[in-house]
Structure 1
Amino acid sequence: MNSYLLAFKSGFGFLSTIPVGISMEGIEELMKKIYFYPVVGAVLGLLIGSIAYIGQIIFPAPVVAALIMGFIYYITGFNHLDGVTDIGDGFMAHGSREKKLKALKDTSLGTGGAAFCMLLLLTLYGSIRAVQEEGLTVFGPDLPVLMFGSMFIAEVSAKQSMLTIAAFGKPIPPREKQAYPGLGTMTINGATKKNFLIGFIFGAVVCFLPFGWIGLLAYLGACTSALVILNRSYAHFGGLNGDGIGTANEIGRVTALTILAVILKLSLNGQMGGLEWTLL
């Protein structure tokens, strides 16, 4: 199989629950061409956006928000959300860096992880609802189009957030010699500046298409949130691992949606000079 096709296929096997199959060879090719992350995000965003579009036509808004959340985790799985719980446990652990690392690696769920996960899910629901409510006045009957575009931008932003944090991060020093690098380390090693730049440009272009610079602003905000997570990961753990990369995915999605909702609100209040939203 062509290496590019194998990497693209493996992106779905690695980043989604779509049963395309995945192998170690495929993962290695994906890490060499890790700029496919936002490309896979774009395809997933089209699927999630389509559910949002159809749901917004048929169901009440709160039900649509829950439906979108359910489909996000149905199509992307819970691996990244599991990273949020691990990071939460590590962040909330008191004491030395060793204790924090132990909590990070512990397979049991602690209070910090449960709280972080709950807050993330509440914020995701709230950000979807905020886009719906603030967008209703601006878009009116075209609200389903807004929801499609917003969920598309959010998913591309989420995947580029993973690439961003990996490109600027360094692995947590292993406490013992490892025969093979973990997936987090492989992701960081694959996220070269060249691969980051290719993915970043692709993501910027496709996020610009639905709403112009407004979508681009949401995209850039999500990438910035990844750098904030990286800063905190360094402060607590002295480096980055796969849990931090997964957390960047989840928070990047929420950040993009929140920024879109804030821009809608400011636009409605006349604080941004009456923005024009470009629709595909």
Structure 2
Amino acid sequence: MLSRWPVGQGDPDAPPGPDMVWAFPLIGAGHGLIAGATGAVALWLGLTPFAAAVLALAALAASTGMLHEDGLADCADGFHGGHTPERRLAIMKDSRLGTYGALTLMLATLLKLAALAALPLQAWIPALMLAGAGSRAAILWPMARMDQARPGGLSAGFGLPSGRSIAVAFALAGAVAILMGGRAGLPMLAIGCLATLPVQIRARRLIGGQTGDVLGAAQQWAEIAILLTAALLWG
């Protein structure tokens, strides 16, 4: 669901249950560990911070399959390319990438590169693990509080997680935040959650609720916010 790593031979016709969301922060932390270790090794070998950041993001993209980046681009195209909710949703479902989506992906990637390049070697793994866990927990907020904009979409098919699963997810995200960020960890997690608000507000106004693409865009905003905060605090 959130990874390109093989994790067993499940039934391909049976969608994952919504109560698996408790594991989202752990999956995100794993992605962050892979990316952070890649960047840290590149820095240790003598590459420039920018080159190391590019390699770290490449490792992250390979690990995640860029599911959330796709959602970010689709939202940018749909929100800005359509004039009615129906037309916006149709554009978001289209697999082709438009100008709005391409530019948004470019700017999002540049923000991540700039944040990572500003970090010292010892902060790469903590920052990326915290961003990975925190941003995956942050998407549970719009998932739980927003109506479905497309009844037949991926998010609607996934279903609504229970309050217990969401609580466990945030507890795990908080634990990762404290372990990786110390006293700054929980405030950084809160910043990531708050960064999803602009996505939620625009999605509710423009398409009437959330979709899988909206959740992906929310994750990307949260990840960027946490990495930029890490750059400010630890850079």
TM-score by length of 1: 0.76
Contact 1:164–1:227 under 8 Å retained in 2: no
2:140 aligned with 1:163: yes
Shift of 1:244: 0.7
2:103 aligned with 1:118: no
Partner of 1:20: 7
Q: Residue deviations 1:119-169, cap 9 Å, x none?
A: 111111122123x2xxxxxxxxxx322111111111111211222221222
Alignment CA distance shift 1:20-1:73 (3 Å): same
1:183 is matched by which residue type in structure 2?
L
Contact 2:24–2:169 under 8 Å retained in 1: yes
Partner of 2:231: 261
2:222 aligned with 1:235: no
Partner of 1:140: none
Q: Could you say what the CA RMSD is over the residues aligned between the two structures, in angstroms? A: 2.0
Hey, what's the Cα distance between the residues in 1 that align with 2:66 and 2:176? 25
Match of 1:81 among 62, 69, 77: 69
Hey, what's the Cα distance between the residues in 1 that align with 2:35 and 2:98? 31
Shift of 1:25: 6.8
Partner of 2:124: 147
Q: Specify every segment of 5 or more residues in structure 1 that has no aligned partner in the other structure, as ranges.
A: 1-13, 133-142, 175-180, 266-280
Contact 2:82–2:91 under 8 Å retained in 1: no
1:194 is matched by which residue type in structure 2?
R
Partner of 2:155: 184
Rg: which structure is higher?
Answer: 1
2:223 is matched by which residue type in structure 1?
R
Hey, what's the Cα distance between the residues in 1 that align with 2:131 and 2:14? 26
Match of 1:54 among 7, 19, 41: 41
Hey, what's the Cα distance between the residues in 2 that align with 1:109 and 1:211? 36
Partner of 2:89: 101
Deviates more, 1:81-90 or 1:161-170: 161-170
> Secondary structure, in 3 states, of the residue corresponding to 1:28?
coil
Hey, what's the Cα distance between the residues in 2 that align with 1:224 and 1:239? 17
2:173 aligned with 1:203: yes
Hey, what's the Cα distance between the residues in 2 that align with 1:24 and 1:231? 34
Shift of 1:173: 4.6
2:50 is matched by which residue type in structure 1?
P
TM-score by length of 2: 0.90
Contact 1:37–1:163 under 8 Å retained in 2: no
Hey, what's the Cα distance between the residues in 1 that align with 2:84 and 2:153? 24
Higher relative contact order (CA 8 A, sep 6+): 2
Percent of counterpart pairs with the same letter? 25
Contact 1:91–1:112 under 8 Å retained in 2: no
Contact 1:37–1:160 under 8 Å retained in 2: yes
Contact 2:34–2:60 under 8 Å retained in 1: no
* Structure 1 segment 29-48 matched on structure 2, within 5 A: 29=17, 31-48=18-35
Shift of 1:26: 6.4
Shift of 1:111: 1.5
Shift of 1:18: 0.9
Structure 1 stretches of 4+ moved >6 Å: none
Partner of 1:172: 149
Contact 1:222–1:252 under 8 Å retained in 2: yes
Alignment CA distance shift 1:91-1:215 (3 Å): same
Hey, what's the Cα distance between the residues in 1 that align with 2:50 and 2:56? 10
Q: Residue deviations 1:233-253, cap 9 Å, x none?
A: 111100100001111222221
Partner of 2:220: 250
Q: Specify every segment of 5 or more residues in structure 2 that has no aligned partner in the other structure, as ranges.
A: none
Contact 1:169–1:239 under 8 Å retained in 2: yes
Contact 1:42–1:152 under 8 Å retained in 2: yes
